[in-house]
Amino acid sequence: MSRIIKSIALDEQTAKIADTLPNFSHFVRECLYRHAISNTLECSREKTWRGTDRCNPLMQPVCFNCWPNGSPPVEAVKQWSQDKLAMSFLDDRAKSHNEYLIDLTGINRKAQKTRKSAVKVGFFASIRQKIRDRSP
Protein backbone atom coordinates (compact mmCIF):
# COMPACT_ATOMS: atom_id res chain seq x y z
CA MET A 1 0.00 0.00 0.00
CA SER A 2 1.41 3.38 -0.91
CA ARG A 3 1.43 6.04 1.77
CA ILE A 4 0.09 9.53 1.31
CA ILE A 5 1.10 12.02 3.97
CA LYS A 6 -1.66 14.40 5.15
CA SER A 7 -1.34 16.88 7.96
CA ILE A 8 -4.18 17.71 10.28
CA ALA A 9 -4.75 20.32 12.96
CA LEU A 10 -5.73 19.18 16.43
CA ASP A 11 -6.73 21.22 19.45
CA GLU A 12 -5.20 20.58 22.89
CA GLN A 13 -7.88 18.10 23.89
CA THR A 14 -7.76 16.01 20.71
CA ALA A 15 -3.94 16.13 20.68
CA LYS A 16 -3.97 14.50 24.12
CA ILE A 17 -6.34 11.83 22.84
CA ALA A 18 -4.11 11.24 19.80
CA ASP A 19 -1.11 10.76 22.10
CA THR A 20 -2.88 7.85 23.80
CA LEU A 21 -3.33 5.91 20.54
CA PRO A 22 -0.57 3.41 19.69
CA ASN A 23 -0.84 4.07 15.93
CA PHE A 24 -2.57 7.33 15.06
CA SER A 25 -2.35 6.81 11.29
CA HIS A 26 -3.98 3.40 11.62
CA PHE A 27 -6.73 4.94 13.74
CA VAL A 28 -7.41 7.63 11.16
CA ARG A 29 -7.47 5.13 8.28
CA GLU A 30 -9.89 2.90 10.18
CA CYS A 31 -12.15 5.84 10.98
CA LEU A 32 -12.14 6.89 7.33
CA TYR A 33 -13.08 3.39 6.14
CA ARG A 34 -15.86 3.15 8.70
CA HIS A 35 -17.10 6.64 7.91
CA ALA A 36 -17.17 5.91 4.17
CA ILE A 37 -19.00 2.64 4.66
CA SER A 38 -21.55 4.07 7.06
CA ASN A 39 -22.30 7.05 4.85
CA THR A 40 -21.85 6.23 1.19
CA LEU A 41 -20.22 2.95 0.35
CA GLU A 42 -21.68 -0.50 0.43
CA CYS A 43 -19.58 -3.62 0.19
CA SER A 44 -18.43 -3.82 -3.42
CA ARG A 45 -17.05 -7.34 -3.19
CA GLU A 46 -18.86 -10.60 -3.81
CA LYS A 47 -20.87 -11.31 -0.68
CA THR A 48 -20.88 -15.06 -1.16
CA TRP A 49 -17.83 -16.03 0.88
CA ARG A 50 -18.08 -19.74 1.78
CA GLY A 51 -21.87 -19.77 1.53
CA THR A 52 -22.40 -16.68 3.72
CA ASP A 53 -23.80 -13.26 2.84
CA ARG A 54 -20.46 -11.60 3.54
CA CYS A 55 -17.28 -10.92 1.58
CA ASN A 56 -13.91 -12.59 2.21
CA PRO A 57 -12.69 -11.38 5.64
CA LEU A 58 -9.05 -12.05 4.79
CA MET A 59 -8.92 -9.55 1.89
CA GLN A 60 -7.20 -6.23 2.64
CA PRO A 61 -8.26 -3.62 3.44
CA VAL A 62 -10.82 -5.25 5.69
CA CYS A 63 -14.45 -4.56 4.79
CA PHE A 64 -16.02 -3.07 7.94
CA ASN A 65 -19.41 -3.30 6.27
CA CYS A 66 -19.37 -7.10 6.35
CA TRP A 67 -16.87 -7.44 9.23
CA PRO A 68 -17.69 -4.72 11.79
CA ASN A 69 -15.10 -6.12 14.25
CA GLY A 70 -12.35 -6.35 11.61
CA SER A 71 -10.83 -9.54 10.18
CA PRO A 72 -10.95 -12.73 12.22
CA PRO A 73 -7.59 -14.53 12.57
CA VAL A 74 -6.78 -17.16 9.92
CA GLU A 75 -6.83 -20.01 12.45
CA ALA A 76 -10.34 -18.98 13.55
CA VAL A 77 -11.50 -19.09 9.93
CA LYS A 78 -10.06 -22.62 9.60
CA GLN A 79 -11.76 -23.77 12.80
CA TRP A 80 -15.06 -22.12 11.79
CA SER A 81 -14.93 -23.90 8.45
CA GLN A 82 -13.87 -27.32 9.77
CA ASP A 83 -16.34 -27.39 12.67
CA LYS A 84 -19.17 -25.66 10.73
CA LEU A 85 -19.59 -23.07 13.49
CA ALA A 86 -21.98 -20.11 13.63
CA MET A 87 -21.02 -16.72 12.19
CA SER A 88 -21.07 -15.30 15.74
CA PHE A 89 -17.94 -17.39 16.42
CA LEU A 90 -16.03 -15.46 13.74
CA ASP A 91 -17.42 -12.11 14.95
CA ASP A 92 -16.37 -12.89 18.53
CA ARG A 93 -12.90 -14.05 17.49
CA ALA A 94 -12.49 -10.97 15.28
CA LYS A 95 -13.43 -8.73 18.19
CA SER A 96 -10.87 -10.28 20.55
CA HIS A 97 -8.24 -10.50 17.79
CA ASN A 98 -8.68 -6.79 16.97
CA GLU A 99 -9.12 -5.41 20.45
CA TYR A 100 -6.49 -2.78 19.66
CA LEU A 101 -9.02 -1.23 17.28
CA ILE A 102 -11.17 1.44 18.83
CA ASP A 103 -14.68 0.18 19.51
CA LEU A 104 -16.87 2.04 17.07
CA THR A 105 -20.01 0.04 17.70
CA GLY A 106 -22.91 2.20 16.66
CA ILE A 107 -20.96 3.87 13.88
CA ASN A 108 -21.21 1.36 11.09
CA ARG A 109 -24.34 0.28 9.27
CA LYS A 110 -24.77 -3.17 10.85
CA ALA A 111 -24.50 -1.83 14.37
CA GLN A 112 -26.94 1.01 13.69
CA LYS A 113 -29.74 -1.50 13.50
CA THR A 114 -29.33 -2.41 17.15
CA ARG A 115 -28.01 0.79 18.77
CA LYS A 116 -29.98 3.82 17.69
CA SER A 117 -28.76 6.08 20.49
CA ALA A 118 -25.19 6.16 19.19
CA VAL A 119 -26.38 7.17 15.73
CA LYS A 120 -28.26 10.18 17.02
CA VAL A 121 -25.22 11.77 18.67
CA GLY A 122 -23.14 11.83 15.47
CA PHE A 123 -19.90 10.27 14.33
CA PHE A 124 -17.31 12.38 16.16
CA ALA A 125 -19.42 12.87 19.28
CA SER A 126 -19.74 9.10 19.45
CA ILE A 127 -15.97 8.63 19.14
CA ARG A 128 -15.36 11.22 21.87
CA GLN A 129 -17.85 9.41 24.09
CA LYS A 130 -16.12 6.06 23.47
CA ILE A 131 -12.77 7.56 24.40
CA ARG A 132 -14.21 9.16 27.55
CA ASP A 133 -15.71 5.78 28.49
CA ARG A 134 -12.28 4.15 28.14
CA SER A 135 -10.51 6.72 30.34
CA PRO A 136 -9.88 5.70 33.99
Residues in touch with Zn ion (CB under 5 A): 43, 55, 63, 65-66
Return the number of the residue (66 or 102) whose C-beta is nearest Zn ion: 66
Q: Taking every pair of C-alpha atoms in the chain, what is the biggest distance, in angstroms?
A: 50
Distances (CA, A) of 5 to 14, 29, 36, 96: 19, 12, 19, 30
Min. distance of Cβ 80 from Zn ion in angstroms? 17
Min. distance of Cβ 34 from Zn ion in angstroms? 13
Return the number of the residue (62 or 118) whose C-beta is nearest Zn ion: 62
Residue 2 makes CB contacts below 8 A (sequence gap 6+) with none
User: Rounded to an integer, what distance in angstroms lies between the CA atom of residue 121 and that of residue 130?
Assistant: 12
Min. distance of Cβ 67 from Zn ion in angstroms? 7
DSSP state of 60: S
Min. distance of Cβ 107 from Zn ion in angstroms? 16
Return the number of the residue (65 or 69) whose C-beta is nearest Zn ion: 65
Return the number of the residue (21 or 43) whose C-beta is nearest Zn ion: 43
Residue 79 makes CB contacts below 8 A (sequence gap 6+) with 85, 89
